[in-house]
């Protein structure tokens, strides 16, 4: 019996796995191009201000291990909120918080800046036909998982200010060019007693947004 060339077989298996994964990733990006049709103007405005290419960032996304056998899972906004309030309160992060943040945004999302980045975290992910995001705005966290966005403040607002906030422009409280360019009025204010934070909610209509086709992204980056 002729000896078995196990090294050659292992090489063919590795090559096959690589081809399958490359095709799966290409199909995943085509899926995003076909299904993601909207984004928050806050995301697009913030990306422009910070010199971040959302299209380039999304082109780095990878499908979850169980896709396409299982559809993409949309994390509810409340899950995201829980994963981030604790590090806001402490002003520091640890490995556990990093893992929780990555669990929400990695595969199929993209972490543009991790939780320990001095500029603050920034991440995007597809969510119900839109491109959702969370990003640090100074010591606060801005998130949009639909037309309703939230701004999580590190510290609770004084009672007198909290009572007066609903209906007022957000720029009166947060001095940031993003809220001057995109005026928003506070819908409601919630307090998280466990985290010691205030959460402002406001509506920002979504705008059309299209993720480039995989071949378009390849040409643009060449």
Q: DSSP labels for the chain?
A: -PPP-HHHHHHHHHHHHHHHHHHHHHHHHHHHHHH--EE-HHHHHHHHHHT--HHHHHTT----TTTTTSPPP---HHHHHHHHHHHHHHT---HHHHHHHHHHHBTTBEEEE-TT-TT--EEEEEETTEEEEEEEETTEEEEESSSEEEEEESSPPPHHHHHH-TTSBGGGT---HHHHHS--BEEEEEEETTTTEEEEEEE---EE--PPPHHHHHHHH-
Q: What is the pLDDT of residue 156?
A: 83
Q: What is the pLDDT of residue 109?
A: 86
Q: How confident is the model at residue 21 (pLDDT cuts 50, 70, 90)?
A: very high
Specify if 161 maps to a domain.
Answer: yes
Specify if 27 maps to a domain.
Answer: no
Specify if 163 maps to a domain.
Answer: yes
Task: Select the more confidently predicted residue: 89 or 1.
Answer: 1
- Region 49-69: mean pLDDT is 90
Specify if 130 maps to a domain.
Answer: yes
Q: Which domain holds residue 104?
A: 38-208
Specify if 103 maps to a domain.
Answer: yes
> Which of these, 150, 138, 188, lies nearest to 168 by C-alpha position?
188
Specify if 110 maps to a domain.
Answer: yes
The domain total for the chain is 1
Specify if 10 maps to a domain.
Answer: no
Q: What is the pLDDT of residue 128?
A: 86
Distance between CA atoms of residues 93 and 85, nearest Å? 11
Specify if 219 maps to a domain.
Answer: no
Q: What is the pLDDT of residue 33?
A: 93
Average pLDDT, the chain: 83
Q: How confident is the model at residue 76 (pLDDT cuts 50, 70, 90)?
A: low
pLDDT tens digits along 87-143: 444 444 556 667 777 777 777 889 999 888 888 889 999 988 999 999 999 888 899
pLDDT tens digits along 188-219: 988 776 667 788 999 999 999 999 887 655 44
Q: What is the pLDDT of residue 186?
A: 93
**pTM for the structure as a whole:** 0.82
């Amino acid at each position: 019996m002729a000896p078995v060339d196990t090294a050659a077989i292992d090489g063919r298996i590795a090559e096959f796995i690589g081809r399958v994964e490359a095709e799966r990733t290409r199909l995943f990006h085509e899926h995003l191009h076909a299904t993601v049709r909207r984004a928050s103007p806050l995301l697009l405005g913030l990306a422009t201000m910070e010199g971040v290419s959302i299209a380039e960032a999304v082109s780095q996304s990878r499908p979850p291990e169980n896709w396409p056998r299982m559809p993409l899972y949309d994390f509810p906004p409340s899950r995201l909120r829980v994963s981030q309030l604790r590090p806001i309160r402490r002003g520091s992060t640890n490995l556990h918080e990093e893992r929780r943040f990555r669990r929400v945004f990695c595969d199929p999302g993209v972490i543009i800046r991790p939780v320990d980045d001095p500029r603050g975290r920034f991440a995007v992910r597809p969510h119900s036909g839109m491109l959702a995001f969370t990003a640090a705005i100074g010591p606060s966290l801005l998130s949009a998982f639909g037309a309703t966005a939230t701004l999580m403040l590190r510290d609770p607002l004084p009672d007198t200010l909290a009572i007066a906030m609903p209906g007022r422009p957000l720029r009166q409280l947060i001095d940031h060019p993003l809220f001057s360019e995109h005026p928003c009025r506070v819908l409601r204010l919630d307090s998280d007693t466990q985290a010691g934070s205030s959460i402002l909610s406001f509506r920002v209509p979504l705008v059309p947004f299209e993720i480039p086709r995989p071949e378009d992204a390849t040409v643009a980056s060449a």
